[in-house]
């Protein structure tokens, strides 16, 4: 506790995983003998650095940059960069810890890492964003590489930021090393379907869970929190599968369109205009209701909701929200975001037999497709959208299968939290055992 003092989210994430592992260690004492549990929650390396940059008023600004290289048992460190004012070392460590098991679940050869900065991209000009990204990479470049550590995007880091980061890496190193970052533009080494992958993957996983009870998205009414990269493509896939997403959110409010969101308009506002949901609601007119500061989950008490997909940020769905969802007949909840449901909320879902998919399983489609991007870069190839999406769907089916089988093996069929934690852990732990005390 002292070693990680004040890192509340990191404590939450480790506790959640360790709660599943008691029975694993009883069955496999070799993990305890080799202190795998103690080793796995200590990052292999943590880098913290100063990021100085000059704003549009010619003032020097200072932010803090992080990269936590958590575990390389299965491959080079892999995980996104988050730019958000709330980012601390504890945030990056919680995300990096989750990433270890998520990446293992994909079955791809990638270790776990995460990074970011407390830089706030909101309200910054295009040039300020570029100068910040260039300064951030001017330090980060010495720690990353195709065979060591491969960052990607996360909150506040999308295609634009990856472009500036890649440009600076190339400039400093004089190497066109495509495999050093993922989430690149399709025209310069990026993978088709990467932008869509996390949201699509979460919906594919939910589809598999629903199928275990003979249900599907066809005709389902769905809530998706957030309105960023993950949320937008979760909405798109739900609509393609015959469901209707009736609400989404941002940190300022909720839009509720009782007959379904207008995805084309949402994308135009969010992706092209970089606007807010209040702008969407204004353009959509009477078909949309905007609730400033509203709680998206409370809509389940007003209208029929079948599926909830939290896709914004950590700890955004609380025990009370879970009670409202469960009491009003929600059948499945899948975490598109990382750790969006508090531990108490997860307990409510489990006790109410609501199908529940933890983020490390449900949102693994993004990093899996990043690994597919690395494959394409390594072979100097570029796959079609259809082929890449089919690979993604196959990987998500595989993750569902391994979580379900493991939960059953350990006596709790349908417990995807247990299945994901144990299945991810054993793959990493076995590799760590094989590689000795390092
Ligand atoms: P984006 O930055 O594209 O979007 C984030 C969305 O969440 C925005 O709508 C934002 O609203 C909202 N949000 C962020 N912080 C808060 C907050 N404190 N309270 C309420 N709303 C908030 O990020 P992504 O869509 O990429 O990421 C969303 C989640 O998915 C994160 O947990 C991320 O770690 C996870 N994830 C992302 C992957 C990816 O491939 N992108 C892969 C796996 C997981 P606002 O604009 O108002 O801040």
Q: Are residues 200 and 339 in the same domain?
A: yes
* CA proximity to 205, closest of 85, 98, 105: 105
Distance 23 CA to ligand 1 centre (A): 34
Same domain, 169 and 260: no
Residue nearest to atom 2 of ligand 1 (CA): 155
Structure tokens at 432: 């760590």
Pick the residue whose CA is nearest to atom 35 on ligand 1: 337
Residue 239: its pLDDT value, please?
98
CB of 224 closer than 6 A to ligand 1? no
* pLDDT over 80 at 128, yes or no: yes
Instruction: Give the whole-number percent of the chain exceeding pLDDT 70.
Output: 100
Q: What is the pLDDT of residue 349?
A: 98
For a ligand 1 pocket test, name from 105, 154, 199 the mutation site with the most ligand atoms within 8 angstroms of its C-beta.
154
Distance 38 CA to ligand 1 centre (A): 30
- pLDDT on residue 61: 98
Pair (147, 240) in one structural domain: no
| Residue 323 and residue 248 in one domain | yes
pLDDT band at 2 (very low <50, low <70, confident <90, very high): confident
Q: Of all atoms in ligand 1, which is nearest to the CA of residue 183?
A: 40
Decide whether any atom of ligand 1 lies within 6 Å of the 116 Cβ.
Answer: no
SS3 content of the chain, % helix, strand, coil (to 5): 50, 15, 30
- Which of 357, 378, 412 represents a domain boundary (last residue)? 357
pLDDT per position as a tens digit, 298-349 = 999 999 999 999 999 999 999 999 999 999 999 999 999 999 999 999 999 9
CA atoms of 176 and 170, how far apart (whole Å): 6
Average pLDDT over the chain reads 98
Q: From 322, 357, 392, give the residue that closes a domain.
A: 357
Answer yes or no: do 123 and 268 share one domain. no
pLDDT of residue 132: 99
Confidence at residue 122, expressed as pLDDT on a 0 to 100 scale: 96
Residue 409 is assigned to a structural domain of this protein: no
277-301: per-residue pLDDT in tens?
999 999 999 999 999 999 999 999 9
What number is the average pLDDT over the span 40-66? 98
Exactly one of 114, 124, 184, 237 is catalytic; which is it?
Answer: 114
257, 142: one domain: no
Claim to verify: residue 108 and residue 257 sit in the same structural domain = no
Task: State whether ipTM is beyond 0.90.
Answer: yes
The torsion defined by the Cα of 75, 400, 116 and 184, in degrees rounded to 10, comes to 80
| Mean pLDDT in residue range 372-380 | 98
Does the beta carbon of 91 sit less than 6 angstroms from any atom of ligand 1?
no
Token representation of residue 227: 């309105």
What pLDDT digit, counting tens, does each position of 159-182 carry? 999 999 999 999 999 999 999 999
116 and 69, same domain (yes or no): yes
For ligand 1, the distance from its centroid to the CA atom of residue 117, given in whole angstroms, is 15
338 lines ligand 1 (CB under 6 A): yes
What distance in angstroms lies between residue 152's CA and the mean position of ligand 1's atoms? 14
Tell the residue nearest (CA) to atom 23 of ligand 1.
155
Yes or no: say if 141 and 173 are a contact pair by the CB < 8 Å rule: yes
Ligand 1 closest atom vs CA 226 = 9
Binding site membership of 198 for ligand 1 (Cβ less than 6 Å): yes
| Active-site annotation holds for 114 | yes
Asked whether residue 110 falls in the same domain as residue 252, the answer is no
Q: What is the CATH number of the domain that holds 139?
A: 3.40.50.10860
Query: From the CA atom positions of the chain, what is the Rg in Å?
Result: 21
pLDDT at 1 over 80: no
User: What CATH number is given to the structural domain containing 202?
Assistant: 3.40.50.720
User: Into how many domains does the chain fold?
Assistant: 2
| Long-range contacts from 411-420, C-beta under 8 angstroms, 24+ separation | 414/212, 414/353, 414/355, 415/350, 416/209, 416/355, 416/356, 416/357, 416/358, 416/361, 417/16, 417/20, 417/346, 417/350, 417/356, 417/358, 418/20, 419/361, 420/101, 420/105, 420/358, 420/360, 420/361
DSSP state of 157: B
Distance CA 125, CA 122 (A): 9
**In which domain, by residue range, is 325 found?**
196-357
* CB 281, CB 61: distance < 8 Å: no
Q: Are 110 and 250 part of one and the same domain?
A: no
- 429, part of any domain: no
């Amino acid at each position: 506790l002292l070693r990680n003092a004040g890192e509340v989210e990191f404590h939450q994430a480790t506790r959640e995983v360790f709660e599943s592992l008691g029975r694993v260690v009883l069955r496999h004492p070799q993990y305890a003998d080799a202190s795998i549990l103690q080793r796995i929650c200590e990052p292999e390396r943590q880098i913290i650095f100063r990021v100085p940059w000059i704003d549009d008023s010619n003032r020097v600004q200072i932010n803090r940059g992080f990269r936590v290289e958590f575990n390389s048992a299965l491959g080079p460190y892999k995980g996104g960069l988050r730019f958000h004012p709330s980012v601390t070392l504890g945030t990056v460590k919680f995300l990096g810890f989750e990433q270890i098991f998520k990446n293992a679940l994909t079955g791809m050869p990638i270790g776990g890492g995460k990074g970011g900065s407390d830089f706030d991209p909101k309200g910054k000009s295009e040039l300020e964003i570029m100068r910040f990204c260039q300064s951030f990479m001017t330090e980060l470049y010495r720690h990353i590489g195709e065979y060591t550590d491969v960052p990607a995007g996360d909150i506040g880091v999308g295609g634009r930021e990856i472009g500036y980061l890649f440009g600076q890496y190339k400039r400093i190193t004089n190497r066109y090393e495509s495999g050093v970052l993922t989430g690149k533009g399709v025209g310069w080494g990026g993978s088709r379907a990467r932008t869509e992958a996390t949201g699509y993957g979460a919906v594919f996983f939910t589809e598999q869970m629903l199928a275990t009870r003979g249900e599907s998205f066809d005709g389902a009414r769905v809530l998706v929190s957030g309105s960023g990269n993950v949320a937008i493509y979760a909405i798109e896939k739900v609509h393609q599968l015959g469901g209707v997403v009736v609400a989404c959110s941002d940190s300022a409010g909720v839009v509720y369109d009782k007959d379904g969101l207008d995805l084309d308009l949402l994308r135009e506002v969010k992706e092209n205009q970089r606007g807010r949901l209040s702008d969407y609601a204004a353009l959509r007119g009477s078909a949309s209701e905007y609730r400033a500061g509203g709680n998206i989950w409370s809509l389940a008490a007003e209208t029929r909701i079948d599926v909830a997909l939290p896709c914004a940020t950590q700890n955004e769905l609380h025990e009370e929200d879970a009670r409202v969802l469960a009491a009003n007949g929600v059948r499945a909840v899948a975490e598109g975001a990382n750790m969006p449901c508090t531990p108490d909320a997860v307990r409510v879902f489990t006790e109410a037999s609501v199908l529940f998919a933890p983020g490390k399983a449900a949102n693994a489609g993004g990093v899996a497709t990043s690994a597919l991007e690395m494959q394409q870069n390594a072979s100097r190839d570029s796959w079609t959208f259809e082929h890449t999406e089919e690979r993604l769907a196959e990987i998500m089916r595989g993750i569902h299968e391994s979580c379900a089988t493991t939960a059953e093996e350990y006596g709790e069929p349908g417990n995807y939290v247990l299945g994901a934690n144990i299945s991810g852990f054993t793959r990493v732990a076995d590799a760590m055992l094989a590689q000795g005390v390092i």
